[in-house]
Amino acid sequence: MSTNPVNGSSNVPAAGLSNTPANMQINQTDFLKLITAQLTDQNPLSPADPTQFVSQLEGMSEVSSMQSMQNSLQSSALMNGSALIGKSVLAPASSATLASGGSITGAVNAPAGTSNLSVTILDSTGTPLTTFKVTPAVSGMTNFSWNGHTAAGTAAPAGTYTVSVNATVAGKTLPVSPLVVTKVDSVLVDPSTQAVSLDTDSGTVPLSSVVSVM
């Protein structure tokens, strides 16, 4: 996927071109037109310094190379994202979808010194359905799983539920951002930033935030 170049204003004089690639907001066609205009309109008795053209061409070459590299990275990210469609990934999310008779699984990066982890499942109205304790892992992430049953022992209906995690550190309760296992439905590309995101059962997730693929 290519990026859309920003054309420079037509009333900017050719002599106003900057040698700094970051300031060159024109595409290759417009740049060559400006170079041609400089050669056509220059004073024969006082020709322009050829080193200026060389510098401008080098700058345009750098911009072109950067755009090509960005396009390559963008295409690679889009292909990687497309390969995940239909698969489940572990990624940051505050909600997860419960299938009928299924479960919700996830993980937590517990803060150092955590003595206890508490996972609370809430319904769409924000009402807690159940809370269960999880023993923090000695190292790495701590996994958790909700079997889909409320505190009363009844099966919760299929739907989307909020996952809230608190950690006990030095006697204090701290909120912790959970990661949940969610299914990838499609791939999204931000038209303004070209960033690739995944449309999942838990909402939109940046491709770069995916921790693992199930």
Q: What percent of the chain has pLDDT over 90?
A: 50
pLDDT above 50 (res 171)? yes
- For the whole model, what pTM was predicted? 0.63
Tell me the pLDDT band of 99, cut-offs 50, 70 and 90: very high
pLDDT above 50 (res 5)? no
- Domain limits, CATH 2.60.40.4070, in the chain: 88-180
Per CATH, the number for 88-180 is 2.60.40.4070
Q: What is the pLDDT of residues 19-73, one digit of tens each?
A: 444 444 556 666 667 666 766 666 555 555 556 655 655 565 555 555 555 555 5
3-state secondary structure (DSSP) of residue 102: coil
Q: Where is average pLDDT lowest: 89-93, 110-114, 143-147, 189-193?
A: 189-193
pLDDT at 10: 41
Q: How many CA atoms lie within 13 A of 43 on its CB side?
A: 2
pLDDT at 49: 59
Buried b (16+ CB within 10 A) or exposed e, 23-52: ebebbeeebeebbeebeeeeeeeeeeeeee
